[in-house]
Structure 1
Amino acid sequence: MFIAMNRFKVKFGSEAEFERVWRERDSYLATVPGFVAFNLLKGPQREDYVLYSSHTEWRSKADFEAWTKSEAFRAAHRDAGTNKVNYIGPPEFEGFESVLALTPAESAA
């Protein structure tokens, strides 16, 4: 498994617009081989921004890298930078490969 995360520092007052952009955009992720899940996470408030993270889960790092080179990726990011969200700096990418995964045990019937 591979987790791809982008951290966004969204200036106060731009949170609703930031969330709207993500809700209304076409991500094309569901059409991409290896895609498992997506979450947009709202984190802590700091002095002048709210931290957000986009979090995608992939079967493998190779699947994620193929997505970044795909036409679906270009289409999903075509309007990046044209919205009215105020950021502090650019998004910060972080990629993680799983070294240990635990899941809940099945309930005994």
Structure 2
Amino acid sequence: MYIAMNRFRVAPDCEEAFQRRWLDREVMLRTVPGFVSFQFLKGPRHEDHVLYASHTVWDSFNAFIAWTQSEQFRQAHATAGEGRKLTIGPPVFEGFEVLQDVAA
């Protein structure tokens, strides 16, 4: 398995708009081979920002790469960068190969 995560620093006065942008979007992931799950996460509040993350689990690194090269990816990110800027700086990408997965 492979986990792809983007972390976002969101200005406190942009939180509601940032959440709406994510929660109201069309999710293209379900149509992509190798997709396992997606989580939209809200983290700790700091003085100048609130931390958010998108967390996607894939069958493999290759499945994730195929997603980034797919038409669904292009559609999902077609409007990225448009509209009001809601984050402080660009997202920070982190990718992880899963070495152990313990489930209930």
Q: Which TM-score bucket, shorter chain as reference? A: over 0.9
- How many percent identity over aligned positions? 54
Larger-Rg structure: 1
Look up the match of 2:78: 78
Aligned to 1:91: 91
**Are the equivalent residues in 2 in contact too, given 1:18–1:85 (CA < 8 A)?**
no
Post-superposition CA distance 1:33-77 (Å, at most 9, x none): 000111100000111000000000101010000000001000000
2:103 and 2:41 map into 1 onto residues whose CA distance is: 21
Q: Give runs of aligned pairs for residues 9-88 of structure 1, distance below 5 A.
A: 9-88=9-88
Which residue does 1:5 correspond to in 2? 5
Q: Normalising by structure 1, what TM-score?
A: 0.92
Question: How well do the aligned residues superpose, as a CA RMSD in angstroms?
Answer: 0.9
Gapped regions of structure 2 (runs ≥ 5)? none
1:85 CA displacement: 4.1
One-letter code aligned to 2:72 = A
Aligned residues: 104
**Which residue of the partner structure matches residue 107 of structure 1?**
none
Separation in structure 1 between the aligned mates of residue 37 and residue 87 of structure 2, nearest angstrom: 25
Work out the CA distance in 2 between the residues paired with 1:103 and 1:39. 16
